[in-house]
Every structure is written in C-alpha cells, then in structure tokens.
Amino acid sequence: MKKVLITGGAGYIGSHIALALLDRDREVVVVDNLVNGSLQALARVETITGKKLFFYHGDIRSAADLDNIFRRHHIGEVIHMAGLKSVSESISRPDDYYQNNVVGTLNLLDSMRRARVRRLIFSSSATVYGPQPCCPVDESCPTGATTNPYGTTKLIAEHYLRELAAAEPQLAITALRYFNPIGAHESGLIGEDPCGIPTNLLPYIFQVAIGKLEHLCVYGTDYPTPDGTGVRDYIHIMDLAAGHLKALDNLQPGFRVYNLGTGKGYSVMEIINAVEKISGRQIKWQPRKRRKGDAAECYADPSLAQRELSWQAERCLEKMIADAWRWHSAYPQGYVKE
Ligand SMILES: NC(=O)c1ccc[n+]([C@@H]2O[C@H](COP(=O)([O-])OP(=O)(O)OC[C@H]3O[C@@H](n4cnc5c(N)ncnc54)[C@H](O)[C@@H]3O)[C@@H](O)[C@H]2O)c1
C-alpha cells in the first residue's frame, strides 16, 4: 500500500494523526521544518505504536525538499497540516503567514503534480466562517468575513484547492474545518506544546493549573450566553484524528469540505470549572472586555461528516480535559527542546 505524507506531522495535530495512521498499519512519512513541532513527539508516537515512521526535516516552501520526498517514497495521499496558526502573530507578521500557508500550499500542489499524487486532505479552520457565524454552523454558512491574516490564508488556500480540483478532475481534495481541537492521546505521552505564551484557551488554562502562569484573562463576561462567557465547540484530538482517517477512506475526485466539531458548545466558565474539578487545582481568572471580532458562540453542525464520512466525535468534555491534564501534569515543560 502507498504511504501517507503528513506535512507538519511533528506538530500537535499531525503527531496524533501519525499515531492513528500507524495504528491502522499505514506507512507514514512526515515533513516538518520544526518551527513549532518536535522530534520528541514523533519518537513517542513510535514508542506508543511500536512502529517506525519516516521523518524529513524540510520546508513546504522548498520544491527541492518536497520533490526529494516524493522521489524516495511511493506516496498515495497527503495530509497537509504544515503552517502557522497564531491569530495574533498573523496580524503582526502577515508575510510569514501568506508565505507558509498560501505559497507553501501552492508549492506542495506543484510537487504533488510532478509526482502524480492526486489525493489530499487539507487542514482548514472554522475561522473561515468569519466573526459572527449563525449557530450551529454548517458548511454552507457564508465564509469570507475573516478578521485576521491567519483566517484569510486558510480561506485563500481553500479557494485555490477548490478551483484546482475543478480544473484537474483527477484531483481528490477534502478540506476539514476544525473547530477547537483539545486533549491529548490517552497515554499522556504526547499533547499540545505551544511555544511561549499559549494563544488558545486550553493550553493557557493548563499553564495556570501547573503554576506557570498567574491567571487567565476571560475576554467578555457579558455575552448573551447562559453565564456571559463565550461558547465554543471543543473536540478531542483523537476524534479529530479519526475524522482524518474517515476522510482518507472517503476521498473522491473533486473538492469537498467538512466541519469537524462535536456540535456542542461549552462556555469559558464551564471549561474553567471542568479543569478545576479534574485537576484539583484552582484556576485564577480575571474578567476583561470583549475582544473585537469574537463571537458570543460558535459551534458546528457536524451532520455532513456524519452522513458522508460515517464519522462523529465520541469523547466527552471530561475525557478531553482528563487526557490533556495527564499530558500537562506529566510534562509541565512540554517536550524537551531540541
Ligand atoms: N490547533 C488548532 O486549534 C487548529 C484549528 C484549526 C486549524 N488548525 C490547522 O491545523 C494545522 C496543524 O495545527 P497544529 O495545531 O498541529 O499546529 P502546530 O503548530 O502544532 O503544527 C504545525 C506544524 O507545521 C510545521 N510547519 C510550519 N510551517 C512549516 C513549513 N513551512 N514547512 C514545514 N513544516 C512547517 C510546524 O513546525 C509544526 O510542527 C495547521 O495548518 C493549523 O492552521 C489548527
């Protein structure tokens, strides 16, 4: 059977997908420039699964790096996860985001064309729906009102892939719009390890729980939600990984897009309470004004993936937090920095 190439496979989501693929007896090749990924994550994936993967320290902006991999391995499918993902950083460094997320994607598709690889899964994001989506958000909800370069680069990449698939009918491309991936593999050996101060809610809360950060700032406590704080759809990382396997199984010529979410929203206060209960630690927090562009609530309608991919998220919030806590409490410093 042909191998699966994961770009960005040493990162948070990619390493969990690599694990799920190896568990399924697929051969996996990872390319990552390690700007935000870790070789430790991949070593632990090999330990957990008892299987080896192929790793290339390379960059998706380099045609030579990618062509070399396609020459050496018989790749059947690509899961394209490599990219930069911080909303705030994208506002101060838009060039880097366009280069990595847009130019990198064009470059990857060029290399795939030369290697005659025609099957691709693309990591997109619920941010493409823009700041005030109507919930539950289904795939037909309007896109295009992105408020930051990160979201715009994801949307541009989606448009490009859609138009490419229309022009080249042999291409089979699926874009998966993730809601909020959290949690860790249940071994607690791999998990999310953000560089510097985390920008996502859960890693931030866990850093407060382990005493690395003093308190959490809660932006907006007067939203029209049951407790006034923002509501989001959190999905367990292993459910997200399972969604990728189903998407691979169901890849068909053309361009498709699916939400990967649970369909249920939790407020910031509910998350804080759940982390306190599971970790036994107090989470100090302070109220702050709403941030411009933040929605009161955003949760998915995941029924299209359920119908067409036979996939649905199975793990509850307690499981997401318990698995994440196992990782963060065992490895408070994250991976050893290479
Ligand atoms: N984590 C989320 O909340 C979330 C939500 C929606 C979408 N996504 C998307 O999913 C993908 C993976 O996200 P993640 O959370 O695992 O992030 P991550 O930063 O942990 O993983 C991305 C990986 O890509 C690598 N990388 C970045 N630029 C590269 C380049 N030019 N060449 C090669 N490798 C490169 C990084 O080193 C990192 O290992 C990203 O495309 C992200 O935009 C993430």
CA-nearest residue for atom 43, ligand 1, is 85
Q: State how far the Cα of 247 lies from the Cα of 254, in Å rounded to an integer.
A: 13
Residue 35 within a domain: yes
Report the separation in Å between the CA atom of 97 and the middle of ligand 1, taken as the mean of its atom positions.
11
Residue 324 within a domain: no
Mind giving me the DSSP string for 215-266?
A: -EEEE-S-SSSTTSS-EE-EEEHHHHHHHHHHHHHT--SEEEEEEES-S--E
Residue 290 within a domain: no
Report the separation in Å between the CA atom of 324 and the middle of ligand 1, taken as the mean of its atom positions.
18
Residue 210 within a domain: no
pLDDT of residue 304: 98
Say whether pLDDT at 216 is over 70. yes
The DSSP element (H or E) to which 270 belongs, if any, is helix 268-279
Say whether pLDDT at 38 is over 70. yes
Query: What would the pLDDT profile of 79-125 be if each residue is shown by its tens digit?
Result: 999 999 999 899 999 999 999 999 999 999 999 999 999 999 999 99
Query: What would the pLDDT profile of 48-64 be if each residue is shown by its tens digit?
Result: 999 999 999 999 999 99
pLDDT of residue 142: 93
Query: What would the pLDDT profile of 277-325 be if each residue is shown by its tens digit?
Result: 999 999 999 999 999 888 999 999 999 999 999 999 999 999 999 999 9
Say whether pLDDT at 74 is over 70. yes
Query: What would the pLDDT profile of 113-171 be if each residue is shown by its tens digit?
Result: 999 999 999 999 999 997 778 899 999 999 988 889 999 999 999 999 999 999 999 99
pLDDT of residue 147: 87
Residue 161 within a domain: yes
CATH of the domain at 91: 3.40.50.720
Residues with C-beta less than 6 Å from any ligand 1 atom: 7-8, 10-14, 31-37, 59-61, 81-85, 100, 104, 123, 125, 178, 180-181, 200
Report the separation in Å between the CA atom of 8 and the middle of ligand 1, taken as the mean of its atom positions.
6
Residue 279 within a domain: no
Burial state string for 245-257 with b = 16 or more CB within 10 A and e = fewer than 16: bbbbebbeeebbb
- The percent of residues in the chain predicted with pLDDT above 70, rounded, is 99
Residues with active-site annotation: 150
Residue 197: pLDDT band with limits 50, 70, 90: confident
Atom of ligand 1 nearest to the CA of 34: 37
pLDDT of residue 133: 80
pLDDT of residue 328: 94
Residue 55 within a domain: yes
Total domains present in the chain: 1
Residue 255 within a domain: yes
Burial state string for 7-41 with b = 16 or more CB within 10 A and e = fewer than 16: bbbbbbbbbbbbbbbbeeebbbbbbbbeebbbbbb
At 257 the three-state DSSP class reads strand
CA-nearest residue for atom 35, ligand 1, is 82
Report the separation in Å between the CA atom of 37 and the middle of ligand 1, taken as the mean of its atom positions.
8
Place of tokens 């694990």: 19
Q: State how far the Cα of 216 lies from the Cα of 229, in Å rounded to an integer.
A: 13
> Would you say 311 and 242 are in contact if contact means Cβ atoms under 8 Å apart?
yes
Residues of the domain holding 175: 3-182+234-261
pLDDT of residue 337: 63
Q: What is the mean pLDDT of residues 202-212?
A: 94
> Would you say 232 and 179 are in contact if contact means Cβ atoms under 8 Å apart?
yes
